[in-house]
Structure 1
Amino acid sequence: MKLTPELVALTLRDVSDDGPEPGWTPLSEAELDHLVDRIEREAGNDPLLVFAYGSLIWKPEFEAVSRQRATAYGWHRSFSLKIERWRASSDQPGLMMALERGGQCDGILFELSAERRRQDLRALVAREIRYREVIDMVRWVSVRTEIGTRKALTFWASTKRSGLTQSLPIEQASQLIARACGQGGSCAEYLHNTIVDLHAEGIRDRNLWRLQALVAADIIAAQTT
């Protein structure tokens, strides 16, 4: 991999917390509970499954009772969500991953514990959905596993109606990822961690591999200017 830990380290710097994402409204505790209630109703008595395709793979922050490979058909990973907080700033915006329509996406399917379902689900939703404007990015998708097709919850699955994501030319995406850093780390670090963990799961996303090579080259170029 061209995007080495040494290059990632060059993108990290101290960035202060500048508050919420500009233009987005923080979700209230009542709105969070309402969203969790809705998800639990939709799940019914079935096990609550979560499809992870990015940072949830390497940092789920809950103890799953099971995990297995799964594929979401009709979706693919894309650095299409522009951000100005967490791993970016208003001075240097960055990009995070979302699921966009088309293709297929290999990931990991987690099953939440029945005993801790409400607690773990609420913590997960609070981590992923912090703003009122992005509630629609939580959705159910059909994924295929070795034992058949399952319904799974996933986050940041975009639609044209949401208007929150925009596919960019890979060269433009690479420049944003190479430069952006926020209080949560850098976008390059996020890309690197995702590829490493996907590789550990036996998953190779060719688009991410092409992107990481461009990001590495952009980081090197920035050091010589």
Structure 2
Amino acid sequence: MAEPAANHDDFDDDAPNAPVVGRTWPGGTKPPLDALMTTHPVTGERGIFIFAYGSICANPPPGQTERHASAIHGFRRDFSLNDIYYRGTEKSPGLTLGLEPHKGSRLPGIVYFAPEETAALMLNEVHAQETPECMQCLYRRQIVQAEIGDGVKVPALTFLANPESKYYIGQSLDMKQKANLIACSYGTPNNDYAKRHRPKGLIGKTGLEYVAMTALRLEDAGRPDEYLNDMTEMAIEAREAMIASGDREKVLHAHQLARMEMGTRVEDEFKDRIGYDVTAAAVAALGPPPVIQPSLMDEILQSGLNTDLSEVSTEGMVTINAEKIGKWRDLRVTITYSEMTFGRPVDSDDNCAPKPAAKPAP
């Protein structure tokens, strides 16, 4: 490996076409590649850096050739944005992380580098992930100064929460309220990114899997984050409360979420507290399963669920065949027992429009 540049405490912002720290692009806008290209301070390669602080920490984008434990200053992560796609729905929004300016803070994360040959691939992938069709203006794009070890600093693109997005909630919920929402939320993403990481069609991802996986990957990188660790524990406690509630709807919902988390590291780490066996026992304690509304029987039959994963009796009762449970590890079909909702159409559009101004108090 090449020796570090003689002076790598700061990169040269005055170099031709060098990325400018603090430069920002509005929500929905993809920065031009030329505005991100820089020279690697160690290898001398041309390429781009991206600073990740959420799900990309757990899912390295294609095109990257280096992954560094990193940190940036002057920001903190927060669940300050509603999510109606990856970890929520229009009817029941979940939460997703955003970066918020915070003087004096040091934020751990991951930096990825892609050389010039694959820089466009990495940028396009990350932009597509952070700009789903229904939430295009969730984030502003900004160049920040990121550490990659031994005092080396690089200009990296990252994504800041956009206060102008209609999905921005800021501090309107306290940490416990956010943890309760994360504990019970899920989404049914269906874009190319989701298909790569969640293959085989009808799939879902829970809010708890998102926060826990991000926390675990940062710990693996030697950059543990107290906020994410605390939020993970609070969300698990909220899920445990659902399981122990004795309320049929809450218990069945917790059981659904446990199915969606099968085969993930979340199941491995927390199966003794919120895993499938724990929720299955809670469901069994409830007695006979609920009757499905007759008006929804056609939807169930058309979904193919009865022939692939379960059996629907003539009385309209759903029972899961024990021999077929293993299929949930490969195909996480989203079912809300209280509504029997299969999948979800995405018909919302953020449109990059500012949020309506609040009406003045009378």
Instruction: Give the TM interval when normalised to the shorter protein.
Output: 0.7 to 0.9
**What's 1:138 paired with?**
141
**What's 1:206 paired with?**
226
Matched residues, number: 190
The more displaced of 198-207 and 58-67 is: 58-67
Maintained 8 Å contact 1:84/1:92: yes
- Pairing of 1:129-168 with structure 2 (within 5 A): 129-131=131-133, 133-134=136-137, 137-145=140-148, 146-155=150-159, 157-158=160-161, 160=163, 164-167=168-171, 168=173
Query: How far has the Cα of 1:161 moved from its partner?
Result: 5.3
> Is there any run of 5+ residues in structure 1 with no aligned partner, and where?
1-33
Query: How far has the Cα of 1:160 moved from its partner?
Result: 4.5
The letter for the 1-side match of 2:158 is T
Query: How far has the Cα of 1:218 moved from its partner?
Result: 0.7
Structure number with larger C-alpha Rg: 2
Aligned-pair Cα RMSD in Å: 2.2
The letter for the 1-side match of 2:121 is Q
Q: What secondary structure does 1:88 align onto?
A: coil
**Which whole-Å deviations, capped at 9, do the CAs of 1:100-133 have from their partners, x for residues lacking one?**
1112211111111321222332222112123475
**What's 1:77 paired with?**
77
**For the structure 1 residues 220 and 136, does the alpha-carbon distance in structure 2 shift closer, same or farther, using more than 3 Å as the test?**
closer
**Which whole-Å deviations, capped at 9, do the CAs of 1:58-96 have from their partners, x for residues lacking one?**
102314222222211001111111112221123322111
Higher relative contact order (CA 8 A, sep 6+): 1
Q: In the aligned structure 2, how far is the partner of 1:199 from the partner of 1:44?
A: 29
The letter for the 1-side match of 2:161 is S
Q: In the aligned structure 2, how far is the partner of 1:205 from the partner of 1:147?
A: 20
- Pairing of 1:16-55 with structure 2 (within 5 A): 35-36=29-30, 38-46=31-39, 47-55=47-55
Percent identical: 24
Maintained 8 Å contact 1:89/1:182: yes
**For the structure 1 residues 95 and 206, does the alpha-carbon distance in structure 2 shift closer, same or farther, using more than 3 Å as the test?**
same
1:170 corresponds to 2:175: yes
**Which whole-Å deviations, capped at 9, do the CAs of 1:144-165 have from their partners, x for residues lacking one?**
232432110112x125455734
Q: In the aligned structure 1, how far is the partner of 2:118 from the partner of 2:63?
A: 9
Q: In the aligned structure 1, how far is the partner of 2:207 from the partner of 2:138?
A: 23
Q: In the aligned structure 1, how far is the partner of 2:138 from the partner of 2:86?
A: 18
Q: In the aligned structure 2, how far is the partner of 1:135 from the partner of 1:219?
A: 27
The letter for the 1-side match of 2:131 is I
> Is there any run of 5+ residues in structure 2 with no aligned partner, and where?
1-27, 40-46, 189-203, 246-362
The letter for the 2-side match of 1:190 is Y
**For the structure 1 residues 159 and 92, does the alpha-carbon distance in structure 2 shift closer, same or farther, using more than 3 Å as the test?**
closer
Q: In the aligned structure 1, how far is the partner of 2:54 from the partner of 2:214?
A: 6
Residue number among 236, 240, 245 corresponding to 1:220 in the alignment = 240
With normalisation by structure 1, the TM-score equals: 0.76
**What's 1:113 paired with?**
115
The letter for the 2-side match of 1:174 is A
Q: In the aligned structure 1, how far is the partner of 2:207 from the partner of 2:181?
A: 8
Q: In the aligned structure 2, how far is the partner of 1:67 from the partner of 1:51?
A: 10
The more displaced of 53-62 and 157-166 is: 157-166
Q: What secondary structure does 1:80 align onto?
A: strand
The letter for the 2-side match of 1:182 is G
Query: How far has the Cα of 1:35 moved from its partner?
Result: 4.2
With normalisation by structure 2, the TM-score equals: 0.49
Q: In the aligned structure 1, how far is the partner of 2:32 from the partner of 2:69?
A: 23
**What's 1:197 paired with?**
217
**What's 2:130 paired with?**
128
**For the structure 1 residues 165 and 153, does the alpha-carbon distance in structure 2 shift closer, same or farther, using more than 3 Å as the test?**
farther
The more displaced of 118-127 and 97-106 is: 118-127
